[in-house]
Amino acid sequence: MEKFEKLLVTGADGFIGSHLTETLVRAGYDVRAFTLYNSFSSWGWLDHCADDVKGNFEVFAGDIRDPNGVREAMKGCDGVLHLAALIAIPYSYHSPDTYVSTNINGTLNVLQAARQLEVRKIVHTSTSEVYGTARYVPIDEQHPLQGQSPYSASKIGADQMALSFYRSFGLPVGVIRPFNTYGPRQSARAVIPTIITQVAQGNLQVKLGSIHPTRDFNYVEDTVNGFISFLRSERSIGEEINIGSNYEVSVGDTVKMIGRIMGTELEIVEDQQRLRPDKSEVERLWADNAKARELLGWIPRYAGLEGLENGLRKTIDWFVQPANRAQYKADLYNL
């Protein structure tokens, strides 16, 4: 696919979105970063972007739930990478309405605007949570969808909305489905930053929820490269494509690996408030990434046990820096 004149990245102020924005700018793309409007003029993690990226992208502050703002942000863009979403599973138990308005209606706003403005490519972001607990492994794109939390249900709805616009109107949209991304800047509500920040504070006891579930962890650099490969590929339109390492590891074994890297033996303490309801816990995630390899030519660099350890070392190196850790409240449970 020929190079895009201008790209809109929604959710550019978030964890993955900020890394993606930086990588696109470095690759020479003209990027407009859609950030959530707030009275502090904060651009989220883009306020902390690298010096070679600062000042080299445009910012549009708005709200993905506002159709007019989304349309204005998209004007002049021929490609859209849609990452804006509410993603915290515990908070979705508390405020499910917000997940519908942000994840489903927000996605509809993006699709409607893209159709009206005749955008050439839309990359819609899904999540491995839409599969629920694996019925078979590795999980390919034909696996049944199971809404085991209000969050995952909202993402299923958003994914299907995107695919319906492809099937109904020929909109050039595809669904990228990252498995469990981790790395610098990730929210402390996620398990890997939760472990690292507690240990970095000097705690030998780590408070966690269930430790037996398995996850397919992906270092953020691999996930970002998956987005760019998806954007560039002619073959991704109308498709759902997993971005995963094809390697599963339990939360408990991940704790042991982090402890070993950080030079300490950790005791795990079960924290009741961190447990999902029994039928809501996703017990097993393990990605089949064959479709991404075939259609996108994407191959994860941080795959397998060695890749996970390399990614964890980079993540730990970032979190142990006091200036970075100061952005977090490690002594609180983050919804």
DSSP letter string, 62-131: E-TT-HHHHHHHHTT-SEEEE------HHHHHH-HHHHIIIIIIHHHHHHHHHHHHT-SEEEEE--GGGG
Q: What percent of the chain has pLDDT over 70?
A: 98
Q: What is the pLDDT of residue 206?
A: 84
Using DSSP's 3-state secondary structure scheme, residue 246 falls into: coil
Contact 172, 118 (CB under 8 A): no
How confident is residue 329, by pLDDT bands cut at 50, 70 and 90?
A: confident
- Is the pLDDT at 267 greater than 90, yes or no? no
Question: What does the pLDDT read at residue 328?
Answer: 87
What is the rounded CA–CA span in Å between residue 197 and residue 188? 8
- Quick one: average pLDDT of 137-164? 98
Averaged pLDDT for residues 262-282? 84
pLDDT at 262: 94
* CB-CB contact of 123 with 230 (8 Å): yes
Mean per-residue pLDDT over the chain, rounded: 95
pLDDT tens per residue, range 39-57:
999 999 999 999 999 999 9
DSSP type of residue 327: T
Q: What percent of the chain has pLDDT over 90?
A: 87
Place of tokens 């199971």: 146
pLDDT classification of 245: cutoffs 50, 70, 90: very high
pLDDT for position 204: 80
For residue 1, pLDDT beyond 60: no
Mean pLDDT of all residues in 286-303: 98
pLDDT value, residue 5: 94
What digits encode the pLDDT tens for the residues 65-119? Answer: 999 999 999 999 999 999 999 999 999 999 999 999 999 999 999 999 999 999 9
d(CA 155, CA 87): 9
pLDDT of 238 reads 98
Instruction: Check: pTM over 0.85? Answer yes or no.
Output: yes
Beta bridge partners of 60: 34
Q: What is the mean pLDDT of residues 285-292?
A: 98
Weakest mean pLDDT among 57-61, 185-189, 206-210: 206-210
The domains of the chain, with CATH numbers, are 7-182+217-243 (3.40.50.720)
- The reported pLDDT for the residue numbered 3 is 86
